[in-house]
Chains A and B, each alone.
Chain A
């Protein structure tokens, strides 16, 4: 990754004396229809409730949670796509809700959906995305083939429309897009969900490689406990908007006196991890 070119980021500075991510009492609510209370009635539904945690620079932290637990809401808040209802979030000292321009230069994201212009090729999608970060054609001509090669994307498919690529291939391009801009904070929102086992392994290996070769702090949101355990320094559990713990896996197991994270989840919530989401969880999943 050492050959990657950083974007032009005028006036951008990354403080070393502050945590990479500092979240204090962060709250987010959504309003949903309440048919029982009347046709136009709405009620507030917490998506995140007083979430507090810190991630140090260079750390990889995994946040586990079921569908609708608030993982994506957290990622969207940190990537300036949502505005909070309370509390605060700082990224390298910058207020995530008041200094969104500064934050956007520092953060990039890989989500569960590939999110590309489907008729455009991998190279074209990466090219225009890089322009948004100030990378001119002279930079991307070299950087795009390099990053695509690095994620294991075949050179002969660079000009093929994204709609003709498999999910695994598309997710590699999504990783390439995130890393092309050399973010200091990488937000991974279920990056391996829906991938076949081989693609999943490749993406996980790449994330490990990024940790070694790239000075990036990683926040990984996932519902894959094995993935969290193998990739992260610390694991947190988000349950219905509340962060129940965030600590090294061994400490979690010791805290609940259990052998696995599944058992820890049961001990912490009284529910099995695979248990189906309720109606509110589904709503959070859609709007968060």
Chain B
């Protein structure tokens, strides 16, 4: 076998032989995957720039929507201190809903978006591993979602006049960061839906997002739900993200291991399962000719 370069332009890169060669190949592959991951983030930055006005409008809508929820605290006849605490808890719920919504939208629409733009075939025939592809989408979603969540939180808190002198924002952000891994893992599972059903898949992803938040106590304690819903809440990462972030913002609590370890366990399970489901969905789409643009 004779090795030659890709195209006519360069000789093949000799990766060496033996253990040293294997190490060099691993490093080169890793480098290529990191460049690919950077490409996904880069593309999303370009798109955010191009759709900036749309993003601005969406931000205004999200702030208005969050205000409609947080104003409920003003309507409840309780002492001011309790009203402030209720408003803060509702705000944390709304912000996490918005954050989770962004992650699900980005990861779930990995397929739907590219199908609509017509680039899906080029992305899926590129030599980029699927985990890198999906993590790239997830990484940008977390970055973008955190920026939006921060703006949303402070804009609404300022508008309503919430007092949170003890808030531990560092711990709240760190917990959200840890929770992101589980959210991405679950997002990977739902991102397969548009691959299998081009017409209805994206909507089913939103259904999954809604179901997760309903059982996680987004605006109420988990304890008010029926027993079977409380059981499901135990395996939802949003439950621990909401509980921990509320404790950090309202009471100034630090990172609690009781919230961190379930998130880590869910991430360790959800990511490989999400990848496996996506791979199976991709195989199905390739078998049945569904990996195509829609327009």
- Do A10 and B118 contact each other (CB < 8 Å), given the known contacts A17-B2, A105-B6, A183-B7? no
State which residues 109-126 of B face A: CB under 8 Å. 117-119, 121-126
Whether B125 and A79, one on each chain, are in contact in the complex, defined by CB atoms closer than 8 angstroms, is yes
Interface string of A25-45 (1 = CB under 8 A from B): 000001100000000000000
Q: Which residue of A lies closest to B128 (CB)?
A: A132
State which residues 73-121 of B face A: CB under 8 Å. 117-119, 121
Whether A182 and B1, one on each chain, are in contact in the complex, defined by CB atoms closer than 8 angstroms, is no
Tell me which of A3, A83, A106, A130 has the highest count of chain B C-beta atoms within 10 A of its own C-beta: A83
Interface size on B, as a range, is 35 or more
Interface string of A228-266 (1 = CB under 8 A from B): 000000000000000000000000000000000000000
Using a CB–CB distance below 8 Å, which chain B residues touch chain A? 1-10, 12-13, 15, 24-25, 28-29, 31-32, 35-36, 38-40, 42-43, 46-47, 50-51, 117-119, 121-129, 283, 286-289, 291-293
Interface size on A, as a range, is 35 or more
Whether A287 and B9, one on each chain, are in contact in the complex, defined by CB atoms closer than 8 angstroms, is no
- Do A5 and B9 contact each other (CB < 8 Å), given the known contacts A120-B47, A134-B31, A134-B35? yes
Interfacial chain B residues near A115, Cβ < 8 Å: 117-119, 121-122, 293
Selected contact of A161 from candidates B35, B50, B118, B127, CB within 8 Å = B50
CA distance A14 to B217 in the complex (A): 56
Selected contact of A81 from candidates B5, B15, B125, B128, CB within 8 Å = B125
Q: What DSSP secondary structure best describes chain A's contact surface? A: loop
Using a CB–CB distance below 8 Å, which chain A residues touch chain B? 1-17, 30-31, 73, 76, 79-83, 101, 104-107, 109, 111, 113-120, 124, 127-136, 161, 177, 181-184, 213-216, 287-288
Interfacial chain B residues near A104, Cβ < 8 Å: 125-127
Whether A11 and B28, one on each chain, are in contact in the complex, defined by CB atoms closer than 8 angstroms, is yes
CA distance A215 to B12 in the complex (A): 13
Selected contact of B35 from candidates A5, A136, A181, CB within 8 Å = A136
- Do A8 and B28 contact each other (CB < 8 Å), given the known contacts A113-B293, A115-B119, A120-B47? yes
Q: Which residue of B lies closest to A130 (CB)?
A: B39
Whether B289 and A288, one on each chain, are in contact in the complex, defined by CB atoms closer than 8 angstroms, is yes
A-B contact pairs, 6 of them (CB 8 A): A8-B32, A15-B1, A82-B289, A104-B127, A105-B127, A116-B118
Tell me which of A4, A6, A73, A161 has the highest count of chain B C-beta atoms within 10 A of its own C-beta: A6
Selected contact of A107 from candidates B31, B46, B125, B291, CB within 8 Å = B125
Whether A131 and B121, one on each chain, are in contact in the complex, defined by CB atoms closer than 8 angstroms, is no
- Do A11 and B2 contact each other (CB < 8 Å), given the known contacts A104-B127, A216-B7? no
